[in-house]
Amino acid sequence: MSVITFPGSEFAKNYDIICFSHLRWNFVFQRPQHLLSRFAGKHNVFYVEEPIFHDGNPKLVVDESKEGVTVCVPHLPTGTRMDVASEMLRTLLDDLLVEKEVRDYVCWYYTPMMLTWTTHLKPLAVVYDCMDELSAFKNAPPELRTREAELFSLSDLVFTGGRSLYEVKRQQHESVYCFPSSIDVKHFEKALMTTEEPADQASVGRPRIGFFGVIDERTDISLLDRIAELRPDWHFVMIGPVVKIEEEDLPSRDNIHYLGGKSYDQLPDYIAGWDVAMMPFAINESTRFISPTKTPEYLAAGRPVVSTPIRDVVRPYGEAGLVRIAETAEEFVNAIREALDEDAGERRVRAAEFLDTMSWDKTYAGMSELIDEAIEKNSRQTARASI
């Protein structure tokens, strides 16, 4: 009996990954970094960022991250027209693939806006990891929805960063899979053993209620201002870069402390010094589908958590009694007071049991298996078409 083989099946697991992202690799360590760092253990991963405009010729600045990911940053001449920019970017990308001898690869997108200069590529499969509803964000390009529809038509797989987003996107594509925000438990458990305070937090009074993440239009700064006003004896620590908000618009009180951005490695040291972790997210279009990675990270660090009613926090964390949900400033203050008085040991046991079911390693393994299957399926279809 003869055995039929299909072109491509032998390298289904030996592909490179070219990721196109609107997020800078060295900005905030979040979902793309967690996932692609793990893929880099078995694949060559090229992380292509949005272009930077400068006074000079077109070039691609390529660096190796400590996680083993090749980070590629296009630099284009200032003032370049959009149509010309797309052609330049296409050329820089093609040169990269030739130089690095990239032949069998998967295209992985975090933004559909990069389709303008990547549709000529011939990948083994296309993945769209939809971690946010980008069209709802402040300053989103008006053509983003159209581009996303185009990306859906090209994608073999669509991953979503939370259940709310999954429920919407599964109506738009036949192969949508929900992979909610996950956790590196061992990394954040360090907060349970850390005793030395970071210098810029050591002088902050107690009790401390902390937040880390990007401070932008998703942050309810009015809520933050009001709860700080209601409890001037509590101290609120805000860690993270300020984006799309003027710093003078941030609430300024003696008990609100903005410590700036910190690296992923530093976060457990800061969380260790908090009494409560908070997520004062605004309830608006930009937060309608978010699934905050920090929720399980706070829990793994052993902190009680108070959040506004973000849908993907209410379920499952609120429903499981792991996160207190509060909408108004008064409710937020009451929830923090309860958290300060609770039995930490009992909560930590329940949180540990819950977090045991999720990890970035498991998410990576599930995604990897689906990609292998998509490549194999495409290879079979290509083989049959050529007969």
What six digits make up the tokens of 31?
């979902």
Q: Checking phi first, is residue 4 left (phi over 0); if not, alpha (psi -120 to 50) or beta?
A: beta
User: In this predicted model, which residue has the larger pLDDT, 194 or 110?
Assistant: 110
* Cα gap 200→237, rounded to integer Å: 11
Average pLDDT over residues 276-294: 94
Averaged pLDDT, 120-130: 97
Q: Please state the pTM of the whole predicted model.
A: 0.87
Q: How many other C-beta atoms are found inside a 10 Å radius of the C-beta of residue 253?
A: 13
CB under 8 Å to 332, separation ≥6 — which residues? 223, 227, 278, 280, 306, 308, 326
What is the DSSP code (8-state) at residue 242?
B
As a residue count, the chain comes to: 387
Whether pLDDT at 88 is above 70 = yes
pLDDT at position 330 is 98
Q: Flag whether pLDDT at 8 surpasses 60.
A: no
51-60, 149-158, 184-193, 341-350: segment of lowest average pLDDT: 341-350
pLDDT in tens, 224-270: 999 999 999 999 999 999 998 998 999 999 999 999 999 999 999 99
Helix segments in the chain, DSSP class H: 31-39, 82-99, 144-154, 163-169, 185-189, 199-202, 221-230, 267-271, 294-300, 311-313, 329-341, 344-355, 360-386
Give CA 222 to chain center in angstroms: 25
Tokens of 244: 């799309």
Q: How confident is the model at residue 384 (pLDDT cuts 50, 70, 90)?
A: confident
Give the torsion sign (CA, 270, 272, 276, 280): positive
**Residue 268 CB neighbour total at 10 angstroms:** 20
- Whether residue 6 is predicted with pLDDT greater than 80 in this model: the reply is no
Q: Among positive and negative, which fits the CA dihedral 301, 302, 305, 310?
A: positive
Q: How many CB atoms lie within 10 A of CB 100?
A: 16
